[in-house]
Amino acid sequence: AQGDVEDKPGPPKGRTFWPTAVVSRKESAARRRREKAQLTLDELKKEGRVHVKVQPVSVFLLRNGTVISIFSRDCVNFAEPIMARLQEPDTGVRMSADASLLVQSLLDLVVDSAFDVVDAFHEKVLELEHDVLLKPNIKAISRHTFDLSLLSGDLALHKRTMEPLKMVIYGLRRYDEDRCAALAEPGDRELPVQGFMSHKAKIYLVEADETYAYLCAGREQADVHDHVEYILSTMDTFAGMAENLINYTFNVGSHPTCHINTYLSRRLTMATIIFLPLTLLTGYFSMNFEAMWSVDLHTDLFFWEIAIPVMTVIISLFLWPDFKRMSHYVQKRLVERRKRKLIKRKLAGNCREVISGGVFFEEDRLGRDEWATGHSYTSYSTLSAVV
């Protein structure tokens, strides 16, 4: 057994084989490929998306009335409005000395900042709707579809971001005392349970000096939970609008193809209507029977004596609606041409009258008469004013 172990071939000298190192290199290469693909995707999405920066906020409320709020480095100035209110002696947050009301104010500030995101998405949806509906461009359909897909995905992502905040607010309002009762000691079950949130903080009554009107100006003042509900429902509405616009862009993109197919089908139908009777008659006159008086006793003129009336009846019968539309179109163009000639003739006559001097337009004459009779308005034509 010892000889077998010694004779067993090992790794070559000067080179060590480490499976873990190989796996790590493969993972690093795969990670670099993913990062490169993500950078490329972010570069493509840069122009067509609403740039929203999401930062975590942690708030701790202790029993002794201490509130600890933790923000990221980029959001250090986020709570400055609340800090300014705490420094003023006559504000509700300062006078109540209620720590739960301070937590409510922080939550209200977080929710109010989400209104800016909703406004940005609203502007983006209106911009895309304007481009898609009022300025349909076949060449820009792919770009519009890409932007709308990004918008729909971002709306779904931010809706998922707001859902936990909604559950937190609802839990603080509804289950604060129940959770405190569940955490109480067995010997303290008979004592009245006091939750972390006060009654005023639970109700989220919004008064003029406690709503941060400068943050939510123009919005209906209501509690924080209603604000979150409004934000989520608005995002659902925007997502539905984006989906409808995507369907519309696909319909607009397929319209030229359908139009071309319809046009070709009409042309083929007209060709069939014209040549199918001729094919039938040609097949009849080309039969090689011995006794055929229509072939033996007549020339090819007899074929056309039959074909022309048959073609006239068939074409008139099947293409009568097209003839009516063509007649209506010709009449309309003739009327428009007659009107243009009449307008040119009047303009040429008016120009000759102005050049000859002393003669005004009929509108000028009407304006001068009205001015002479004391009316307060006068109508002058553009050409007279320029002359």
**What single letter denotes the amino acid at residue 176?**
D
167 vs 243: CA distance, rounded Å: 27
In order along its 387 residues, the chain shows pLDDT tens digits of 444 444 545 555 555 545 555 557 777 777 888 877 777 766 666 666 777 888 888 888 888 888 888 888 777 677 788 788 778 877 777 777 777 788 888 888 888 888 888 998 898 888 888 888 777 666 667 777 778 888 888 888 888 888 888 888 888 877 777 777 766 676 666 667 677 777 667 665 444 344 444 344 434 334 787 888 889 999 999 988 888 888 888 777 666 565 666 777 777 887 787 788 788 777 877 776 666 666 666 667 777 888 888 888 887 887 788 788 888 888 888 988 888 888 888 887 766 555 554 444 444 444 444 434 443 333 333 333 332
DSSP letter string, 263-305:
HHHHHHHHHHHHHHHHHHHHHHHT---S--HHHHS--HHHHHH
Query: Distance between CA 321 and CA 91 in Å, rounded?
Result: 80
Are 247 and 143 a contacting pair, CB within 8 Å? Answer: no
Determine the Cα–Cα distance for residues 151 and 52; give it in Å rounded to an integer: 12
Residue 64 is classified by DSSP as T
pTM, entire model: 0.52
Is there a contact between 112 and 216 (Cβ–Cβ < 8 Å)? yes
